[in-house]
């Protein structure tokens, strides 16, 4: 059987990353949400904040565990499928990933223990402080991962010696040209994703007529976060796009479906890029739209895809549509947040059931937007694994395609089982809702550190 090991290794990494990226996106934002609830609980002494904090800690525990499991698999693939890439970049990428492990396991894991098991054993201020430290740890973890990924996109601060990238200036490596934009974009996306999950759960409780006080609190706080974060993400994304145009112009050309760099770039609301014919079909466009956005000039020019040979272009169709999915979801989140804020101002937020139904069913929008953004970033970098330094085909391990195909099949089966159980129990926890029956901190499943047991205990509806 002929199987392309490069394609299969890319598929395997893409499959595992798509699963993995969901959970860090959620736990980064959720840990900050927990710290906020803890702060409000300590400051006001109100029970609803304590109940909500304990409710979301259970969901955080399940998400964190699945994030760790899926992340470990990624690390192994550097050795199994990408050994030549590891040999080439190990001196640069290795320490950055090492710092991420230090942040994740020594900072997050230590205080995560207090967060999971310490509710009735430590004072509220220490419990809240633990949540804040875990939130800082997840943010630190993202810092190092984004530094490594950004270096692969815009490498700096290194030298090539004997065919290997070696560090010369660590500040340039970490704070490479695209890092600030990627870090801000990802961090804001994580917080926005969590805001819509909180918003969706709060709306669900109100529609079902249970946990009303907690539901209203989640709805207010979700809207309050989203109305700031969603428009902010549009601004950060615009700045990120300008930075990408400067350092990876062909990626931007693929995002825009722009072929001829000698003409101003239209913004295509819809089109079907024909990569063989080097043009778009079925175009619906805003004339000069991309030129205005990217160059702030009506006749501004940006490089077109035709300016480089076909073997130096990314997969245009994939990048083009992934970018539009991300944009569409981003504008939906902005509209939902602004309209929710309007309803709040009018005093009809909790009674407008059609709006509650929409946001209750829109909890997934942040996750899909994150995945689409990741596809744009990573597919748009092709054919480079390290931009202008190493092509993807040169970073693969010398393994047969059939071996990679076999392990990919195993991952699909294992992930299907593990993540189905995880999502099932998270849904059980949400159905159960905040439980006021455990005021003394003696909720059996919670204090045993077993979120699964907590999901199995009967919920109390109010």
pTM of the model: 0.89
Mean pLDDT, all residues of the chain: 88
pLDDT per residue as tens digits for the range 194-245: 999 999 999 999 999 988 999 999 999 999 999 999 999 999 999 999 999 9
Q: Please report which confidence band the pLDDT of residue 272 belongs to, taking 50, 70 and 90 as the band edges.
A: very high
Q: What backbone phi and psi angles, to 5 degrees, belong to 368?
A: -65, -40
pLDDT tens for each residue of 75-110:
788 888 899 999 999 999 999 988 888 777 677 778
- Is the pLDDT assigned to residue 461 strictly greater than 60? no
- Residues 292, 296, 302, CA angle at the centre, nearest 5°? 70
Answer left, alpha or beta for residue 135, where phi above 0 means left and psi between -120 and 50 means alpha.
Answer: alpha
What is the mean pLDDT of the segment spanning 116-136?
Answer: 89
Which residue do the tokens 């973890």 mark?
Answer: 141
The helix/strand/coil state of 191 is helix
pLDDT at 68: 81
Percent over 70 (pLDDT), the chain: 94
pLDDT, position 2: 63
Do the beta carbons of residue 182 and residue 188 sit within 8 Å? no
Q: What is the pLDDT of residue 116?
A: 86
**pLDDT mean over 348-376:** 94
DSSP state of 385: E
pLDDT at 404 (0 to 100): 86
Answer yes or no: is pLDDT of 462 > 50: no
SS3 450: coil
Query: What does the pLDDT read at residue 32?
Result: 93
pLDDT of residue 385: 93
Is the model more confident about 47 or about 333?
A: 333
d(CA 39, CA 258): 49
Mean pLDDT of 333-360: 95
Q: Above 80 in pLDDT, residue 433?
A: yes
d(CA 200, CA 198): 5
426 or 444, higher pLDDT: 426
Sequence-distant (≥ 6) Cβ neighbours of residue 433 within 8 angstroms: 55, 205, 210, 211, 214, 459, 460, 461
Q: What percent of the chain has pLDDT over 90?
A: 63
Instruction: Specify whether the CB–CB gap between 318 and 375 falls below 8 A.
Output: yes
Q: Is the CB of residue 391 less than 8 Å from the CB of residue 238?
A: no
pLDDT in tens, 20-68: 888 888 989 999 999 999 999 999 988 889 999 999 999 998 888 888 8
């Amino acid at each position: 059987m002929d199987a392309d090991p490069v394609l299969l290794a890319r598929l395997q990494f893409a499959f595992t990353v798509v699963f993995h990226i969901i959970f860090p996106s959620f736990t980064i934002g959720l840990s900050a949400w927990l710290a906020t609830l803890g702060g409000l609980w300590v400051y006001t002494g109100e029970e609803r904040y304590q109940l909500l904090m304990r409710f979301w800690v259970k969901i955080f525990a399940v998400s964190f565990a699945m994030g760790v499991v899926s992340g470990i698999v990624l690390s192994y693939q550097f050795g199994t499928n990408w050994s030549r890439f590891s040999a080439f970049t190990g001196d640069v990428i290795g320490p950055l990933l090492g710092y991420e492990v230090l942040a994740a396991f020594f900072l997050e894991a230590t205080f995560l223990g207090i967060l999971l098991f310490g509710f009735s054993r430590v004072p509220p201020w220490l419990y809240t402080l633990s949540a804040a430290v875990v939130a800082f740890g997840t943010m630190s973890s993202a810092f190092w991962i984004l530094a490594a990924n950004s270096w692969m996109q815009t490498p700096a601060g290194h030298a090539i010696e004997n065919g290997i990238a070696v560090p010369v200036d660590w500040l340039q490596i970490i704070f490479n040209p695209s890092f600030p934009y990627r870090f801000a974009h990802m961090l804001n996306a994580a917080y926005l994703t969590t805001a819509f999950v909180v918003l969706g759960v709060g709306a669900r409780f109100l529609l079902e007529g249970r946990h009303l006080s907690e539901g209203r609190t989640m709805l207010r706080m979700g809207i309050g976060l989203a109305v700031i974060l969603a428009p902010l993400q549009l601004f950060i994304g615009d700045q990120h796009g300008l930075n990408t145009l400067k350092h990876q112009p062909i990626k931007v050309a693929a995002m825009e479906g722009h072929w001829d760099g000698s003409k101003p770039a239209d913004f295509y609301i819809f089109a079907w890029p024909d990569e063989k014919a080097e043009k778009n079909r079925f175009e619906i466009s805003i004339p000069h739209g991309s030129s205005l956005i990217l160059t702030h000039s009506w006749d501004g020019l940006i490089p077109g895809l035709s300016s480089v040979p076909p073997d130096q272009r990314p997969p245009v169709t994939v990048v083009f549509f992934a970018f539009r999915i991300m944009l569409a979801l981003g504008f939906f989140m902005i509209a939902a947040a602004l309209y929710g804020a309007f309803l709040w101002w009018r005093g009809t937020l909790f009674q407008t059931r059609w709006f509650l139904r929409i946001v209750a069913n829109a909890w997934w929008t942040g996750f899909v937007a994150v995945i689409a953004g990741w596809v744009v970033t990573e597919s748009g970098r092709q054919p480079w694994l390290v931009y202008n330094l190493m092509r993807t085909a040169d970073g693969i391990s010398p393994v047969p395609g059939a071996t990679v195909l076999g392990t990919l099949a195993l991952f699909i089966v294992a992930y299907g089982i593990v993540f189905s159980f995880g999502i099932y129990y998270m849904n059980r926890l949400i159905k159960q809702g905040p439980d006021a029956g455990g005021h003394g901190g003696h909720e059996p499943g919670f204090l045993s550190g077993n979120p699964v047991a907590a999901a199995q205990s009967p919920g109390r509806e109010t």
